[in-house]
């Protein structure tokens, strides 16, 4: 809570008061829908390639995270994304994987969260996610630094990050994306994920209610830009 409040204060001080107000209003009154997607690791899948070769590995203490700095000139949405990534880095959730470009720069990051981290996950996100089953792992915090966007990195890197979940005993890898986030949904589909759940999140005066509806059978999602 304190961490979120300090993020809101940083947004205001950096001139993004509108975004801070939006984030606050979201918790006062909002209704939103996310798509739950999953991939069955027991089914063979050929990872797509990005337009540059990638090396996927766990985040190292020496990795340069300067692409997460809220530098002047970025949009308020981007400032918000970077603050979220920095908060996740402080959450204590293991394990963050990164993709490294040929020039040594970090070009993607995402957490693999197994069932053993359910308590920490609840502590950080409240009731936003279902309890992770013993044969499941959650992927959270997908982020491609702005300089690397639009190169097909998400699909390629996420496909490889998902496979790391097998090291935690997971067969099913799950993830959730706001249904308005077309770029992220496309990345998930390219990484071999299929929509299987719809999550309804409702905030009234800072009280959050979350409901999950299975998609039976697993359905195709309509991307926001493709709506008629």
Ligand X SMILES: CC(C)(COP(=O)(O)OP(=O)(O)OC[C@H]1O[C@@H](n2cnc3c(N)ncnc32)[C@H](O)[C@@H]1OP(=O)(O)O)[C@@H](O)C(=O)NCCC(=O)NCCS
Question: What residues make contact with ligand X under the rule CB under 6 A?
Answer: 81, 142-144, 149-155, 177, 181-184, 186-187
The residue (of 42 and 142) whose beta carbon lies closer to ligand X is: 142
CB of 177 to ligand X, least distance (A): 4
The residue (of 129 and 205) whose beta carbon lies closer to ligand X is: 129
CB of 60 to ligand X, least distance (A): 20
The residue (of 30 and 205) whose beta carbon lies closer to ligand X is: 30
The residue (of 137 and 169) whose beta carbon lies closer to ligand X is: 137
CB of 162 to ligand X, least distance (A): 14
The pair phi, psi for residue 116, each rounded to 5°, is -65, -10
Q: Which residues, at least 6 apart from 219, have a Cβ–Cβ distance to it below 8 Å?
A: 195
Residue 135, helix vs strand vs coil: coil
CB-closest chain residue to ligand X? 150
CB of 128 to ligand X, least distance (A): 12
Burial of 102 by CB count in 10 Å (0-12 exposed, 13-18 middle, 19+ buried)? exposed
Q: Which residues, at least 6 apart from 121, have a Cβ–Cβ distance to it below 8 Å?
A: 93, 113, 129, 132, 138
In the sheet that 96-100 helps form, which strands lie side by side, from edge to edge?
A: 55-58, 96-100, 106-114, 136-143, 172-178, 29-40, 194-204, 207-214
């Amino acid at each position: 809570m304190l961490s979120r409040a300090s993020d809101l204060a940083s947004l205001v001080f950096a001139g993004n008061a509108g975004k801070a107000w939006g984030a606050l209003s979201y918790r006062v009154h909002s209704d939103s829908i996310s798509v739950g997607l999953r991939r069955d690791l027991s089914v063979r899948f050929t990872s797509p390639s990005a337009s540059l070769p990638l090396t996927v590995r766990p985040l190292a203490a020496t990795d340069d995270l300067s692409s997460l700095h809220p530098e002047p000139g970025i949009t308020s949405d981007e400032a918000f994304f970077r603050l979220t990534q920095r908060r996740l880095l402080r959450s204590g959730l293991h394990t963050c994987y990164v993709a490294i470009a040929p020039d040594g720069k970090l070009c993607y990051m995402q957490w693999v969260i197994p069932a053993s981290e359910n308590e920490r996950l609840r502590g950080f996100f409240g009731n936003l996610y279902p309890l992770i089953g013993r044969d499941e792992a959650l992927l959270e915090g997908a982020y491609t630094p702005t300089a690397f966007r639009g190169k097909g990195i998400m699909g390629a890197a996420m496909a490889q990050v998902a496979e790391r979940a097998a090291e935690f005993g997971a067969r099913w890898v799950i993830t959730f994306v706001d249904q308005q986030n077309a770029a992220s949904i496309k990345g998930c589909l390219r990484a071999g994920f299929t929509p299987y759940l719809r999550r309804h999140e409702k905030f009234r005066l800072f009280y959050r209610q979350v409901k999950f509806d299975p998609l039976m059978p697993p359905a195709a999602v309509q991307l926001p830009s493709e709506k008629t």
